[in-house]
Amino acid sequence: MRTIPLTAILLVTVPAAADDKARATIEKAILAQGGPDKVAKLRSMRIKAEGKTDLIPGQPGAAFTIEDVWQMPDKYRTSATFTVMGMKVTQSQVLDGDKGWAEVNGQVTDVPTEVSAEIREQKYAEDLDRLGFLKDVDKELSVVEDAQVNGKPAVGVRVKAKGHRDVTLYFDKATGLLAKRAHPVLDAASGKEVMQEVVFADYADQAGVKHYKTITVFRDGKKVIEAKVTEVEFLDKVDPKLFAKP
């Protein structure tokens, strides 16, 4: 009888075990947020936040408000209001299927291909926050080294998918809730990829769903956004006019 080397057995079993642990972590997170039916509400919703950012050139600590509306899988609108050199600026960026457009203080333009691609990539990462990807055959899940998030231990799950940058989600070990998302983004100022970490905290019940109330964003370890969620609304249907180009 031919024996199989132990190293060969390990090569076969370790990835499978890691994947099982990753899936179990996501399943725990779904239950922590309210269960599959409640978490499904995250697919179409509106969220509004206000805070301060260092991402506006020459305007450290600039105050802003932002409102995002999305209908997964391919409709997304983000609108922000902030002040630059004493002038109020209102800006929107929209994805509607394979189309993209932007509006700044009432002026509408098509979004350049490279900008649209980056918006889509960031939307892809954000969509993973909704935890609805366990049945997606195009995604490979694996566990990564545990980390400390907000001073608490967190379990890490890396999500790989062809055509996308890797995204790592960290879940609080005690509560099971999403604590951090980490992935590369294209920095507009430098034109280079930087590591972005988005930290979620202060979860509260919202129509049966646990939802974060504060967001802190770091780029290459430097805090660049600090925001508080002021409104959350789950939508049965999103008005198509929100995504249609004027």
pLDDT in tens, 160-201: 999 999 999 999 999 999 999 999 999 887 889 999 999 999
Residue 117 has pLDDT above 80, yes or no: yes
Tell me which residue of 43, 179, 191 sits closest to 115, measured CA to CA. 191
Residue 5 has pLDDT above 80, yes or no: no
The one-letter amino acid at 169: L
> Residue 1: its pLDDT value, please?
40
SS3 content of the chain, % helix, strand, coil (to 5): 25, 50, 30
Q: Tens digit of pLDDT for each residue in 38-83?
A: 999 999 999 999 999 998 888 889 999 999 999 999 999 999 999 8
| 36 in a structural domain | yes
What distance in Å separates the CA atoms of residue 233 and residue 45, rounded to the nearest whole number? 6
Mean per-residue pLDDT, 133-160: 95
Asked if 226 contacts 218 with a C-beta cutoff of 8 angstroms, the reply is no
| 1 in a structural domain | no
| 105 in a structural domain | yes
Strand partners, 83: 88
User: 24 lies in which domain range?
Assistant: 6-236
> Residue 98: its pLDDT value, please?
85
Name the domain count of the chain.
1
Residues in the chain, total = 246
| 140 in a structural domain | yes
Determine the 3-state secondary structure of 34 from DSSP: coil
| 139 in a structural domain | yes
Residue 29 has pLDDT above 90, yes or no: yes
| 241 in a structural domain | no
| 31 in a structural domain | yes
Place of tokens 């180009």: 245
Residue 15 has pLDDT above 80, yes or no: no
Place of tokens 């099971």: 176
